[in-house]
């Protein structure tokens, strides 16, 4: 078995040697057929040139664009991309530092009380409080017409507080007294007797009575009666044996005091005819009085500092 293997191997070697010999002869014969072609010389083998160096790539970037907006406290980010490759670049955007505050009124201000407002940043929630100033007064007006007891005026007042002031003051009106009742038609006031003596009844401290029957405001004149009253009783019927006549009323404002003095001058139309009247009536003398409430005081009928007290209207 082994001998056959050796034979096969030996035959194979011989065949390869013969093929190599034939190949060499064929090459030599070819070269001999073309004398211009040089014989193969492995000493003249050409070495290939190295490849050329590539030019470096230059990026073509887009404009920067924001991918993260900055806030008042945090940085933002912007980016740009290469248009020919996938390269990108980024950089930070500084924080703005500008808060966006929104105010919330905690306590509204009025014209008398300041308010409180809270400011909060919508981006970072930073907050602080501030005082809201007083508001202006909300004024309204009311016209008050004058009356016989009070001046008129225009009232300016605030609808939100007690603030008010007045302007355009007008003088109060004169009383409109009834000729018969002497009562003001617009208020409870009663006409002062000295300004209208008609139908007025007066009592002196000596229990003598004066009754002014009439009074003409145009001429300031009128008629009167005088008589004695027992026990200071109010007369409820016409007295007998009384004196009567006419009188004239005049008035003068004293500049130093501002008070008004009244002078009444009497004239007697009837001679005294009764022993009950044991005093002298000096009707021809001026009677100066000063009005204090409803009391008249002065020298009269021979009595110094005589006081007349107004008892009422329509008693006779």
pLDDT digits (tens, 9 = 90+) for 102-146: 999 999 998 889 999 999 998 888 899 999 998 888 889 999 999
pLDDT at 268 over 70: no
Residues 216, 303, single domain; the answer is yes
Return the residue matching tokens 């008693």: 315
What integer is the mean pLDDT of 202-208? 74
Number of domains in the chain: 4
pLDDT at 166 over 70: yes
Instruction: Quote the pLDDT of residue 307.
Output: 77
Establish if 73 belongs to a structural domain. yes
Distance CA 101, CA 99 (A): 6
Instruction: Quote the pLDDT of residue 236.
Output: 47
Residues 152, 258, single domain; the answer is no
What integer is the mean pLDDT of 204-228? 82
Instruction: Quote the pLDDT of residue 47.
Output: 66
- Lowest average pLDDT, out of 31-45, 58-72, 301-315, goes to 31-45
Residues 75, 120, single domain; the answer is no
Instruction: Quote the pLDDT of residue 287.
Output: 60
Residues 154, 213, single domain; the answer is no
Q: Are strands 101-107 and 115-121 parallel, antiparallel or unpaired?
A: antiparallel
Residues 243, 226, single domain; the answer is yes
Instruction: Quote the pLDDT of residue 282.
Output: 41
Residues 235, 202, single domain; the answer is yes
Establish if 155 belongs to a structural domain. yes
Residues 223, 288, single domain; the answer is yes
Instruction: Quote the pLDDT of residue 94.
Output: 92
What integer is the mean pLDDT of 292-299? 70
- Lowest average pLDDT, out of 17-26, 69-78, 251-260, goes to 17-26
In terms of Cα–Cα distance, which of 73, 68, 70 is closest to 126? 73
Choose between 209 and 49: higher pLDDT: 209
pLDDT category of residue 43 using cuts at 50, 70 and 90: low
Contacts of 265 (CB under 8 A, 6+ apart): 247, 248, 250, 284, 285, 286, 287
Range of the domain at 70: 60-98
Instruction: Quote the pLDDT of residue 46.
Output: 59
pLDDT at 29 over 50: no
pLDDT at 163 over 80: yes
Establish if 8 belongs to a structural domain. no
Domain termination site, one of 73, 98, 123: 98
Residues 233, 306, single domain; the answer is yes
pLDDT category of residue 210 using cuts at 50, 70 and 90: confident
Residues 166, 263, single domain; the answer is no
Residues 147, 127, single domain; the answer is no
pLDDT digits (tens, 9 = 90+) for 170-193: 998 888 888 777 788 888 887 777
Instruction: Quote the pLDDT of residue 3.
Output: 61
Establish if 24 belongs to a structural domain. no
Instruction: Quote the pLDDT of residue 267.
Output: 72
Residues 94, 155, single domain; the answer is no
Establish if 44 belongs to a structural domain. no
pLDDT at 37 over 60: no
Establish if 120 belongs to a structural domain. yes
What integer is the mean pLDDT of 239-256? 74
- Lowest average pLDDT, out of 11-20, 66-75, 149-158, goes to 11-20
Residues 199, 307, single domain; the answer is yes
Mean pLDDT of the chain: 76
pTM beyond 0.85: the answer is: no
């Amino acid at each position: 078995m082994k001998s056959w293997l050796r034979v096969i191997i030996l035959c194979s070697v011989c065949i390869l040697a013969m093929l190599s010999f034939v190949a060499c002869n064929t090459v030599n014969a070819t070269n001999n057929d073309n004398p211009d072609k040089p014989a193969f010389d492995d000493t003249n083998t050409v070495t290939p040139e190295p490849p050329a160096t590539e030019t470096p790539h230059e990026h073509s970037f887009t404009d920067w664009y924001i991918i993260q907006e900055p806030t008042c406290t945090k940085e933002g980010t912007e980016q740009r991309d290469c248009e020919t490759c996938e390269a990108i670049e980024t950089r930070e955007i500084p924080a703005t530092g500008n808060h966006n505050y929104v105010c919330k009124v905690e306590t509204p201000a009025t014209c008398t009380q300041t308010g409180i407002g809270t400011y909060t940043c919508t981006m970072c929630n930073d907050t602080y409080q501030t005082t809201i100033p007083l508001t202006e007064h909300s004024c309204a007006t009311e016209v008050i017409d004058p009356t016989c007891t009070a001046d008129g005026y225009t009232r300016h007042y605030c609808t939100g507080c007690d603030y008010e002031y007045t302007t355009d003051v007008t003088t109060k009106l004169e009383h409109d007294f009834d000729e018969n009742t002497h009562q003001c038609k617009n208020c409870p006031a009663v006409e002062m007797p000295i300004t209208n003596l008609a139908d007025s009844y007066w009592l002196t401290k000596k229990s003598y009575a004066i009754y002014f029957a009439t009074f003409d405001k145009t001429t300031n004149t009128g008629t009167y009666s005088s008589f004695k009253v027992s026990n200071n009783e109010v007369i409820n019927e016409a007295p007998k044996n009384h004196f009567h006549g006419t009188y004239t009323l005049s008035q003068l404002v004293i500049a130093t005091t501002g008070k008004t003095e009244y002078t009444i001058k009497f004239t007697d139309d009837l001679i005294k005819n009764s022993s009950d009247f044991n005093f002298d009536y000096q009707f021809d003398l001026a009677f100066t009085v000063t009005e204090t409430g409803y009391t008249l005081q002065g020298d009269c009928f021979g009595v110094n500092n005589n006081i007349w007290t107004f008892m009422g209207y329509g008693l006779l």
